[in-house]
Chain A
């Protein structure tokens, strides 16, 4: 008998949310947390397929290997995949290189997400956020209510007692549900190892073509990368601790080519995983601000 308390709690959350939902959806960002969340959903509803589609908000700037992994997991799980890109942002030529991470994230991620949710009328949206990631996430409920317009107001959170979740909402409101709230980064890697969950190969160290930007190694993933005159990518043994848009995601130098090595590195890490993301540290409380505006 293997009782995994975190797994059981997450499955309970997934089932409870679906039971109370009219039109649920799972936000799928292809990273390790999404991989674990998808795996938990498949377990929660086995032998049936989870009764909701996956939604990927596609900025068009993800790593190529992420798109390959997405296709593989959609085929394996049998779930429907909905992708959404902010067409207006794309037409306006907004890229992480030209418009700065803050504006780019706002248009291509936050706005795009809100567009997709409105377009399909989803009332319950699963997200893979964890409370150990960041201080404003540490304050968020597992069932987190959003007013119409997808705004989060931390001062108007519902009391959330026991595992008795209030899934009721009024017209126009929606729920963001976070089944991984109580997981930590080491929990995620231990579980991936235990359950042999497929993850994007970018998490494993390999020689990759990178350049130095703002003190971080950025992979030159395609020809859109603006190299300086005379600049050439160098091959370095690197891996990624988190995955997002490739121009905004810093790699770390590492020799970790196995899950055991990654777990070991995670446990010894002395910086947080989100440090590799260039969007969080723009300003004090920037994550809380993004969440107010509807970001996950």
Chain B
């Protein structure tokens, strides 16, 4: 190892044969991070080069690319090996994570080259989420920078326990030991609170290869390992192999009428044929009958293995359930404290419903509270009501179903989650569960002796929630009023929740920002739910401009209970009517966040009833709703 001739005749090709392909340890995954010009991509290029992972045709392409895009004055620019996208080459920066592979005779490696710019923090988190180690580059001339601290914080947050502090560009400080030691001392001081398991500091010159693969003659004062030696020898410490068994169910395999296989990848511990297991969240128990693998079965399966289990008993087990050791099951909960990295272009709004995905389980839920944001540069706590792109905060989560989990610090697979926007389907958040706020086991809906059915029967009616949505001045209150009069005259028990009236009482503390509008709807939906439970026919007349909140409201009710009525009056008509003079005010700029003027309205896509009061009479509109009620 260590020959640096690109076209040398005597060198071996990429990769080196490994003795036992089936029993090898998994490749070491690491990321490189650091400030923009600290030489991350150059270091990766150098590592690939030293381990002979660069093919001749790639080297030839590199030579021609270096002429065209290079930043090294026509010399080979190794950064171009990893910055593979046209936009990256043209701008000379790394935008997205690149994964590269190399092997030496002692180990195999997957390196994720991650971008340093703050605007690409989410891409860095992507690379860090699967890494075991981070190489943090520091320019020997500049020492620790804001970026260095930020990246250290993100690396620690993502659960990386091993760090290499690569003090690069030592040639530019004439390989001065004092400079190196000062940087190392400053970093140890700064990083103490993060409790990394290992920190190895190495003086480097990535461009020329000093201390990358071979010890440098220019740093005689340094007696530690070279970078490659350190990567090859790194002991990751105890894995989750010895912990209690956990496996999320990904897929239920029904190969035949009598076969019901539970497929998944072991996230922790080992499982043996005959082991007693528990299914979460249901709590049902059984024993492992067989560990099915390709054309056979095996006695034992360990962490990281994809397997198929059959159980002794026929249980109701589905995708997203957790199969765990019976003796030491994990906590099951639906409310958590978590650390969250926001990755959405639109800010996070507390109370708004999102989809949460934890291992193989997808469950709707909300961020109920943003406790505080963390300043990524200083770690300081900041109060906030919303979270923007690339911000990190401590939040409380409330999920609609309980799930089994492990804290992220002990198991990334069982404690890491993503948040998905229900409309755009984008991944908007990455989070790490810290602990359960309340165990779901202690949380039971109080079963009352007199139920909704009984109350409704006494009233001889079917309870309903009739939800009117539309612009201000569309005629929601007028129509709801008229409907209530009709129902009342027929002897029905009703109640009308009107937007303005509720805002004068229950919701008087809320304004008209997006976050407050979400909370406004959440509260009124919960009140409507209680009233339906009481047996009433409830009319809700609220602008309720956002689809996601109306869907959240709908989600509180059983099928058929919730009737969405779209009061579809064109904005020109509403503005002409302007019964409360609000449009005029909004146009004059005296009223902010007014729906239709400077705040959006998302029309329903499939409302049960679609009314057009601009062309139809109020009476015929009410008839349409009554018809729907049956």
Contacts and interface: CB of A to CB of B under 8 A. Distances in A.
Interface stretch (B215-223, B249-257, B582-590, B620-628): B249-257
Contacts of B427: 158-161, 166
B100 A19 contact: no
A138 B98 contact: yes
Given A19-B251, A136-B84, A267-B17, A162 B413 contact: yes
Contact of B357 (A138, A166, A268, A284): A166
A270 B259 contact: no
B255 to A, nearest CB: 4
A285 interface: yes
B126 A159 contact: yes
A4 B22 contact: yes
A8 B301 CA distance: 12
A44 B68 contact: no
Interface in B456-503: none
A290 B16 CA distance: 32
A155 interface: yes
B17 A155 contact: no
Interface in A74-104: none
Contact of A161 (B265, B426, B430): B430
A194 interface: yes
B285 interface: no
A269 B292 contact: no
Nearest to B263: A15
A270 B5 CA distance: 13
A170 interface: yes
A190 B103 CA distance: 14
A177 B56 CA distance: 30
Contacts of A138: 82, 84, 98-100
Contacts of B358: 164
A178 B306 CA distance: 17
A74 B18 CA distance: 33
A62 interface: no
A263 B21 CA distance: 12
Interface string B397-435: 000000000000000110011101000111100100000
B246 interface: no
Contacts of A46: 255, 292-295, 308
B101 A131 contact: yes
Given A8-B265, A46-B295, A272-B58, A168 B425 contact: yes
Interface stretch (A111-119, A180-188, A209-217): A180-188
Interface in B326-378: 343, 355, 357-360
A166 B362 CA distance: 10
A3 B251 contact: no
Nearest to B298: A1
Interface string B169-192: 000000000000000000000000
B23 A16 contact: no
Contacts, number: 196
A18 B89 CA distance: 36
B206 interface: no
Which of B85, B306, B430 has the most C-beta atoms of chain A within 10 angstroms of its own C-beta?
B306
B339 to A, nearest CB: 13
A43 B12 CA distance: 34
A170 B424 contact: yes
Which of B15, B82, B123, B359 has the most C-beta atoms of chain A within 10 angstroms of its own C-beta?
B15
Contacts of A181: 99
Interface string B234-262: 00000000000000001101111001010
Contact of B85 (A136, A162, A270, A281): A136
Interface in A1-57: 1-5, 7-9, 11-12, 15-16, 18-19, 42-48
A288 B85 contact: yes
A164 B357 contact: yes
Contacts of A194: 21-22
B13 interface: yes
B533 interface: no
A65 interface: no
A275 interface: yes
B265 A2 contact: no
A47 B255 contact: yes
A64 interface: no
Nearest to B426: A158
B416 A164 contact: yes
Given A47-B292, A182-B99, A271-B56, 12 more contacts: A3-B23, A11-B265, A138-B84, A138-B100, A139-B97, A139-B98, A155-B95, A170-B425, A186-B103, A270-B11, A271-B57, A288-B84
16 contacts: A4-B22, A46-B293, A139-B97, A159-B427, A161-B125, A161-B130, A161-B430, A162-B416, A164-B358, A173-B425, A181-B99, A182-B99, A263-B17, A267-B14, A271-B56, A285-B85
Interface of B: 11-18, 21-23, 26-27, 55-58, 61, 65, 68, 81-87, 89, 95-101, 103, 110, 122-123, 125-126, 129-130, 250-251, 253-256, 259, 261, 263-265, 292-295, 298, 300-302, 304-306, 308, 319, 343, 355, 357-360, 412-413, 416-418, 420, 424-427, 430
Q: Give the top 8 A-B pairs by smallest Cβ distance, nearest first.
A: A135-B84, A5-B26, A11-B306, A48-B255, A168-B425, A161-B129, A272-B55, A8-B306
